[in-house]
Amino acid sequence: MDLKTLKYDAIIVGGGGAGLRAALQLSKSGKKVAVVSKVFPTRSHTVAAQGGINAALGNRDGEDDWRYHMYDTVMGADFLGDQDAIEYMCQHAPATVLELEHMGMPFTRDENGKIYQRAFGGQTREYGKKNVHRTCAAADRTGHALLHTLYQQNVKAKSHFFSEWYALDLVKSETGGVSGVIVECIETGELNFLQSKAVILATGGAGQIYKTTTNAYTCTGDGLGMVLRAGFPIQDMEMWQIHPTGIYGVGSLISEGTRGEGAYLINSEGERYMERYSPNKKDLDCRDVVSRCSIQEIQEGRGCGPNKDYVLLRLDHLPKEVIEKRLPGITELARTFAGVDPEKEPIPVIPTAHYMMGGIPTNKYGQALTTDKNGNDVIIDGLYAAGECACVSVHGANRLGANSLLDIVVFGRASGMHLEEDLKDGKPFSKPSEEDIGRCLSRYERWMSSTDQSGSEPFAEVRSDMQQIMMDYFGVFRDGKGMQEAMDKLLAIRPRVQKAYLGDKSKTFNTSLVEALELDNMIEVAIATAYSALYREESRGAHSRIDFTERDDKKFLHHSLYFIDGRLEKREINMKPELVEPFELREREH
Amino acid sequence: MSKKVISVQRFNPETDKKPYMQEYQIDTNDFHGTMLLDALEHIKTMDQTLTFRRSCGEGVCGSDGVNINGKNGLACITDLRKLPKTIKVRPLPAFPIVRDLVVDMEQFYSHYESVEPYLQNDDEPATERIQSIDERAKLDGLYECILCACCTTSCPSFWWNPDKFLGPAALLWAYRFVADSRDTATEKRLDQLEDLFKLFRCRTIMNCADVCPKGLNPTQAIGHLRDEMIDRAI
Ligand SMILES: Cc1cc2nc3c(=O)[nH]c(=O)nc-3n(C[C@H](O)[C@H](O)[C@H](O)COP(=O)(O)OP(=O)(O)OC[C@H]3O[C@@H](n4cnc5c(N)ncnc54)[C@H](O)[C@@H]3O)c2cc1C
Ligand code: SF4
Ligand code: SF4
Ligand code: FES
Q: Is B202 in the pocket of ligand 2 (CB under 6 A)?
A: yes
Q: Are B79 and A111 inside 8 Å of each other by CB?
A: no
Q: Are A511 and B60 inside 8 Å of each other by CB?
A: no
Return the pLDDT at A453.
Answer: 81
What are the helix (H) ranges across A425-477? 434-448, 459-473
- pLDDT tens, A334-373? 999 999 999 999 999 999 999 999 999 999 999 999 999 8
Task: Provide the residue type at A221 as one letter.
Answer: G
Q: pLDDT-derived band of residue A299, with 50, 70 and 90 as boundaries?
A: very high
> Which residues in chain B are contacts of A43 at CB distance < 8 A?
55-56, 61-63
**Residues with a CB atom less than 6 Å from ligand 1:** A 13-19, 36-39, 41, 44-46, 48-53, 142-143, 166-167, 202-205, 214-215, 218-219, 222, 253, 255, 354-355, 387-389, 402-405, 408
Return the pLDDT at A590.
Answer: 74
- pLDDT tens, B18-47? 999 999 999 999 999 999 999 999 999 999
Q: Distance (Å) from the C-alpha of residue A389 to the closest C-alpha of chain B?
A: 17
Roughly how many angstroms between the first and final C-alpha of chain B, as a whole number?
59
For residue A480, pLDDT over 80 is answered with yes
Burial A468-502 (b: 16+ CB within 10 A, else e): ebbbebbbbbbeeeebeebbebbeebeebbeebbb
How far is C-alpha A378 from the geometric centre of its chain's CA atoms? 24
Indicate the SS3 state at residue A13.
Answer: strand
DSSP string of A487-533, one letter each residue: HHHHHHHHHHHHH-B-S---STT-HHHHHHHHHHHHHHHHHHHHHHH
Angle between helices B218-233 and B167-178 (to 10 degrees): 60
- pLDDT tens, A231-275? 999 999 999 999 999 999 999 999 999 999 999 999 999 999 999
Quote the CA–CA distance of A145 and A46 in Å, as a whole number: 10
- Give the burial class of B123: count Cβ atoms within 10 A of its Cβ; 0-12 exposed, 13-18 middle, 19 or more buried: exposed
Q: How many CB pairs under 8 A join A and B?
A: 145
Quote the CA–CA distance of A544 and A482 in Å, as a whole number: 13
What are the helix (H) ranges across A198-245? 222-229
Give the C-alpha distances (Å, rounded to integers) separating A315 from A268, A337, A552, B165, B222: 16, 17, 38, 44, 36
Question: Poorest-confidence range of A123-132, A508-517, A524-533?
Answer: A123-132
- pLDDT tens, A96-122? 999 999 999 999 999 999 999 999 999
For residue A211, pLDDT over 70 is answered with yes
> Which residues in chain B are contacts of A517 at CB distance < 8 A?
none
Q: Are strands B3-10 and B86-90 parallel, antiparallel or unpaired?
A: parallel
Helix, strand and coil content of chain A, in percent to the nearest 5, comes to 35, 20, 40
> Which residues in chain A are contacts of B136 at CB distance < 8 A?
106-109
Q: Are B143 and A113 inside 8 Å of each other by CB?
A: no
Listed in sequence order, the residues at least 6 apart from A70 whose beta carbon sits closer than 8 Å to its beta carbon are A83, A86, A87, A90, A91, A577, A580, A583
- pLDDT tens, A532-541? 999 999 999 9
- pLDDT tens, B165-190? 999 999 999 999 999 999 999 999 99
> Which residues in chain B are contacts of A45 at CB distance < 8 A?
55-56, 61
Q: Are A250 and B128 inside 8 Å of each other by CB?
A: no
Structural element, H or E, at residue A172: strand A165-172
| Residue A186 DSSP one-character state | T
Q: pLDDT-derived band of residue A318, with 50, 70 and 90 as boundaries?
A: very high
Q: Distance (Å) from the C-alpha of residue B159 to the closest C-alpha of chain A?
A: 23
Return the pLDDT at A213.
Answer: 96
Quote the CA–CA distance of A32 and A106 in Å, as a whole number: 30
Q: Look at residues B53, B36, B64, B51 and name the one whose alpha carbon lies nearest to residue B146.
A: B64
Listed in sequence order, the residues at least 6 apart from B126 whose beta carbon sits closer than 8 Å to its beta carbon are none
Return the pLDDT at A1.
Answer: 60
Predicted TM-score (pTM) of this structure: 0.97
Task: Provide the residue type at B32 as one letter.
Answer: H
- pLDDT tens, B142-152? 999 999 999 99
Catalytic residue list contains A287: yes
Indicate the SS3 state at residue A540.
Answer: strand
| CA of residue B62 to ligand 3 center, whole Å | 8
CB A543 within 8 A of CB A238: yes
- Measured in degrees and rounded to the nearest 5, phi and psi for residue A545 equal -105, 135
- E strand residue ranges, A377-427: 377-385, 390-391
> Which residues in chain A are contacts of B58 at CB distance < 8 A?
48, 252, 333, 336-337
Q: Are A42 and B62 inside 8 Å of each other by CB?
A: yes
Q: Is B155 in the pocket of ligand 2 (CB under 6 A)?
A: yes
Nearest CA in chain B to A164: B53
Q: Is B222 in the pocket of ligand 3 (CB under 6 A)?
A: no
Task: Provide the residue type at B98 as one letter.
Answer: V
Q: Is B145 in the pocket of ligand 3 (CB under 6 A)?
A: yes
Quote the CA–CA distance of B161 and B174 in Å, as a whole number: 19
Q: Look at residues A190, A150, A195, A148 and name the one whose alpha carbon lies nearest to residue A166.
A: A190
For residue A157, pLDDT over 80 is answered with yes
- pLDDT tens, B65-103? 999 999 999 999 999 999 999 999 999 999 999 999 999
Q: Look at residues A202, A304, A318 and name the one whose alpha carbon lies nearest to residue A262.
A: A318
> Which residues in chain A are contacts of B82 at CB distance < 8 A?
none
Quote the CA–CA distance of A360 and B30 in Å, as a whole number: 38
Indicate the SS3 state at residue A223.
Answer: helix
Q: Look at residues A557, A582, A578 and name the one whose alpha carbon lies nearest to residue A79.
A: A557
- pLDDT tens, B111-135? 999 999 999 999 889 999 999 999 9
- pLDDT tens, B204-227? 778 999 999 999 999 999 999 999
| CA of residue B81 to ligand 2 center, whole Å | 29
* Polymer length in residues for chain B: 234
- Ligand 4 pocket: which of B44, B63, B216 to mutate (most atoms <8 Å of CB)? B63
Quote the CA–CA distance of A225 and B42 in Å, as a whole number: 26
Which of A21, A118, A229, A287 is catalytic? The answer is A287
Closest partner residue to A104 (CB to CB) among B52, B119, B133 is B119
The ligand 3 atom nearest the CA atom of B147: 5
Indicate the SS3 state at residue A148.
Answer: helix
ipTM for this model: 0.97
How far is C-alpha B114 from the geometric centre of its chain's CA atoms? 17
Listed in sequence order, the residues at least 6 apart from B111 whose beta carbon sits closer than 8 Å to its beta carbon are B152, B166, B167, B169, B170
CB A124 within 8 A of CB A131: yes
Quote the CA–CA distance of A447 and A502 in Å, as a whole number: 6
Listed in sequence order, the residues at least 6 apart from A276 whose beta carbon sits closer than 8 Å to its beta carbon are none
Average pLDDT across chain A, whole number: 96
Long-range contacts of A422-428 (CB under 8 A, 24+ apart): A422/A197, A422/A198, A423/A9, A423/A10, A423/A29, A423/A31, A423/A197, A423/A198, A424/A29, A427/A197, A427/A198, A428/A197
| CA of residue A420 to ligand 1 center, whole Å | 23
Q: Are strands A367-371 and A311-314 parallel, antiparallel or unpaired?
A: unpaired
Quote the CA–CA distance of A16 and A42 in Å, as a whole number: 7
Torsion-angle region of A255 (φ positive above 0: left; ψ -120 to 50: alpha; else: beta) = beta
- Give the burial class of A302: count Cβ atoms within 10 A of its Cβ; 0-12 exposed, 13-18 middle, 19 or more buried: middle
Return the pLDDT at A248.
Answer: 95
| CA of residue A35 to ligand 4 center, whole Å | 22
Return the pLDDT at B172.
Answer: 98
Quote the CA–CA distance of A218 and B114 in Å, as a whole number: 29
CB A148 within 8 A of CB A15: no
Average pLDDT over residues A170-187: 97
Angle between helices A83-103 and A66-76 (to 10 degrees): 120
| Residue A43 DSSP one-character state | G
CB A89 within 8 A of CB A159: no
CB A583 within 8 A of CB A83: yes
For residue B1, pLDDT over 70 is answered with no
Long-range contacts of A491-494 (CB under 8 A, 24+ apart): A491/A527, A493/A462, A493/A465, A493/A466, A493/A469, A493/A523, A494/A523, A494/A527
Listed in sequence order, the residues at least 6 apart from A532 whose beta carbon sits closer than 8 Å to its beta carbon are A236, A237, A238, A358, A560, A562, A568
Question: Which ligand has an atom closest to residue B74 CA?
Answer: 4
| CA of residue B205 to ligand 2 center, whole Å | 5
- pLDDT tens, A44-72? 999 999 999 999 999 999 899 999 999 99
Cis? peptide before A393, omega within 30° of 0: yes
Quote the CA–CA distance of B94 and B153 in Å, as a whole number: 6
- Measured in degrees and rounded to the nearest 5, phi and psi for residue A294 equal -60, -45
- Measured in degrees and rounded to the nearest 5, phi and psi for residue B166 equal -70, -25
